Chain A
Amino acid sequence: MSQLIAGYLPLFDLYLLHLGLAFSQYIVLRAGVFSLASAALAGIGAYTAGIFAVKLGAHPLLGLTAGTLTGMLAALFLSIPLARLRGVYQAIATVAFIQIVVSLNIYSEGLTGGAMGLNGIPKSVGTGSLLIAAAAVTYLVWAIERNRLGRAFNAIRQDEAVAASLGISITWHQSLAFAISGALAGLFGGLQAYHSYALDPNQFGFHLLITILSYVILGGRNSVLGPLIGTAILIILPELARPLAANRMVIYGAMLIVVINYLPKGIADTVIQQVRDRRLRLSGGAS
């Protein structure tokens, strides 16, 4: 039994790591920013943490803090030009940003190890630390959802003109969402660096973007349950059908097409809506 659990532990670790990245993607979409930058921001956090450990021999907590802060600062910096763009143009700009970060990581060999990657990072993060970080992030997103920030994000996402007419500053709230997204990506990038001994620049490229986006689209974009469920399904599914695991991206792509067509709100949001509608029907029928 314990052997069985031990066998699935790496998968569980992967789930926790990607859950943080999924929330990073979730929070910007929630605030109406069509940014896909989380993969690059995770790369920035991962490399910062990795460099802190390898080159400076820093304590893991210091490295994680540095990774979180650089992720957040990079996101804030990126939010300045993005505030002038909307919708698909934001998506294009952030995809370009991912390419820039990947290229910079490849070209600045002295610092990042270039195309060979950054190796020999001491492993200091295990399942326990990941679990704490994932729980903290889930709580943070859940808390935001329940109070004035969540309400402002909802209003901006659904209708910017209405939000502004009610006194909600769009730039301020979207920058905040961006900063949170960057900090989350930076933190979980850093955790990944301290979890896996080595970093490869292409690890934080287009591939990761699609992966993270799939978690949120499949799970749902408007409830904290969305990323929790979406990430779980997409991590476990390829493992259930082992031969398919090598073709993970094919499965993700196919699932995305199916979900966008038949469950455009994602699994969690669709179920929540159906439960609510049923309750309203029942209470309406009673009174």
Chain B
Amino acid sequence: MSVLKLDNVSKHFGGVIAAEKVDIEVPAGQITGLIGPNGAGKTTIVNMITGMLPVTGGTISVAGNDITRAAAHEICRAGLARTFQNIRLLPEASVIDNIMVGFHRHEHSSTLAALLGLGSANRETRDMRDRAMALLDRFGMAGLAAYPAGGLSYGHQRKVEMMRALASDPQFILLDEPIAGMNDVESDALAEIFQGFAGSGKGVLLIEHNVRFVSRLCNRVYVLDGGRLICEGTPEQVLNDPAVITAYLGG
């Protein structure tokens, strides 16, 4: 069984400890939760996994391959995809173009073919467009394909970002606060999508504020506070842990 594994991972910004000796395992086919109050270091963890922040100590591996020091674009090729806490789409580009960028990992036409506009490169573009359209259909957004992504509603932008992450066909998806600012109907729809990911054998790391949402979806939950893991276990165990209650409600 393939696992995304953080082993003793630390991150220091000068004297500030953003993460200290964190051990997390994200197994394939399950949704794993990572919760914690503001400033607990959740996004720092995601940024370290995806290669956007250098790791101070410890190792990160995907299915046994060490990716601790790999560059961000290599980590994507190892089968990891993410969404961003503050949505980051290409605002000038249309919805479908945003999703097509996500297929980059699967584009194999030669550079020369791409430069000269040869048939193989053009076929590839058509093929990617069809696959992006299929994704849009699945998410019920086919009608918005041609619209500039920057003008969409918040909920739609979130979905586009998710489709883009999905386009790279990752083994593991890291979702950084995916339902922030959404109402219950919207977040329920996304919950179904996340369960679909896990059902199709992908590993999901769900970073959230919303404890109720996490406990409903996750098999296992990690709680971070001040850069340290203070608790881990099933949602019931974690929610009844005194240290977690103190961290969330104040001591």
On A, residues with C-beta under 8 Å from B are: 139-140, 142-144, 146-149, 151-152, 154-155, 158-159, 161-170, 176, 180, 222, 276, 280, 287
Residues of B73-103 whose CB lies within 8 A of A: 73-74, 76-77, 81-82, 84, 88-93, 97, 100-102
Q: Are B104 and A167 in contact (CB under 8 A)?
A: yes
Q: Are B73 and A148 in contact (CB under 8 A)?
A: no
Q: Are A154 and B97 in contact (CB under 8 A)?
A: yes
The complex places the Cα of A149 from the Cα of B74 at a distance, in Å, of 18
Q: Are A151 and B88 in contact (CB under 8 A)?
A: no
Residue B140 is within 8 A (CB to CB) of chain A in the complex: no
The complex places the Cα of A168 from the Cα of B168 at a distance, in Å, of 11
The 9 residue pairs across chains A and B that have the minimum distance between CB atoms: A143-B117, A167-B76, A164-B72, A167-B105, A147-B121, A158-B90, A148-B107, A155-B101, A149-B114
Give the nearest-CB partner of B77 in chain A: A167
Residues of B102-142 whose CB lies within 8 A of A: 102, 104-105, 107, 109, 111, 114-117, 121-122, 124-125, 128
Do A158 and B104 form a contact, CB below 8 Å, given A164-B71, A168-B73? no
The complex places the Cα of A239 from the Cα of B101 at a distance, in Å, of 43
| Minimum C-beta distance from B103 to chain A (A) | 9
Give the nearest-CB partner of A167 in chain B: B76
On B, residues with C-beta under 8 Å from A are: 50-52, 71-74, 76-77, 81-82, 84, 88-93, 97, 100-102, 104-105, 107, 109, 111, 114-117, 121-122, 124-125, 128, 143, 146-147, 164, 168
Give the nearest-CB partner of A164 in chain B: B72
Give the nearest-CB partner of B113 in chain A: A147
The complex places the Cα of A134 from the Cα of B64 at a distance, in Å, of 52
Q: Are B114 and A147 in contact (CB under 8 A)?
A: yes
Given contacts A140-B116, A140-B117, 14 further A-B contacts (CB under 8 A): A143-B116, A147-B117, A148-B107, A151-B97, A155-B90, A158-B93, A161-B72, A162-B90, A164-B71, A166-B76, A166-B102, A167-B76, A167-B105, A168-B104
Q: Are B117 and A166 in contact (CB under 8 A)?
A: no
Chain B residues within 8 Å of A164, by CB: 51-52, 71-73, 76
The complex places the Cα of A163 from the Cα of B81 at a distance, in Å, of 11
Do A146 and B111 form a contact, CB below 8 Å, given A152-B104, A154-B90, A168-B104? no
Could you give 10 example pairs across A and B, Cβ below 8 Å? A143-B121, A144-B114, A147-B122, A155-B90, A158-B90, A161-B72, A161-B88, A164-B52, A180-B115, A276-B146
Chain A residues within 8 Å of B89, by CB: 162
Do A147 and B125 form a contact, CB below 8 Å, given A139-B117, A165-B76, A287-B143? yes
The complex places the Cα of A165 from the Cα of B71 at a distance, in Å, of 10
Chain A residues within 8 Å of B82, by CB: 165
Q: Are B73 and A167 in contact (CB under 8 A)?
A: yes
The complex places the Cα of A249 from the Cα of B137 at a distance, in Å, of 52
Do A165 and B117 form a contact, CB below 8 Å, given A148-B124, A151-B101, A222-B92? no
Chain B residues within 8 Å of A142, by CB: 117
Chain B residues within 8 Å of A280, by CB: 146-147
> Helix, strand, loop or mixed for chain A's interface?
helix
Chain B residues within 8 Å of A146, by CB: 117, 122, 125
Do A165 and B92 form a contact, CB below 8 Å, given A147-B117, A148-B114, A148-B121? no
Give the nearest-CB partner of B125 in chain A: A147
- With most chain B CB atoms within 10 A of its CB, the pick from A162, A176, A287 is A162
Give the nearest-CB partner of A180 in chain B: B115
Q: Are B72 and A165 in contact (CB under 8 A)?
A: yes
Give the nearest-CB partner of B88 in chain A: A162
The complex places the Cα of A161 from the Cα of B128 at a distance, in Å, of 22
The complex places the Cα of A165 from the Cα of B79 at a distance, in Å, of 11
Q: Are A166 and B88 in contact (CB under 8 A)?
A: no
Give the nearest-CB partner of B93 in chain A: A154
Q: Are B92 and A158 in contact (CB under 8 A)?
A: yes
Give the nearest-CB partner of A142 in chain B: B117
The complex places the Cα of A199 from the Cα of B213 at a distance, in Å, of 71
Chain A residues within 8 Å of B122, by CB: 146-147
Q: Of B73, B88, B116, which is within 8 A of A170 by CB? A: B73
Chain A residues within 8 Å of B88, by CB: 159, 161-162
Chain A residues within 8 Å of B115, by CB: 140, 143-144, 149, 180
| Minimum C-beta distance from B43 to chain A (A) | 12
Give the nearest-CB partner of B47 in chain A: A161
Chain A residues within 8 Å of B143, by CB: 287
Q: Of B72, B109, B146, B164, which is within 8 A of A147 by CB? A: B109
Chain B residues within 8 Å of A176, by CB: 111
| Minimum C-beta distance from A110 to chain B (A) | 37
Q: Of A139, A140, A158, which is within 8 A of B91 by CB? A: A158
Chain A residues within 8 Å of B90, by CB: 154-155, 158-159, 162
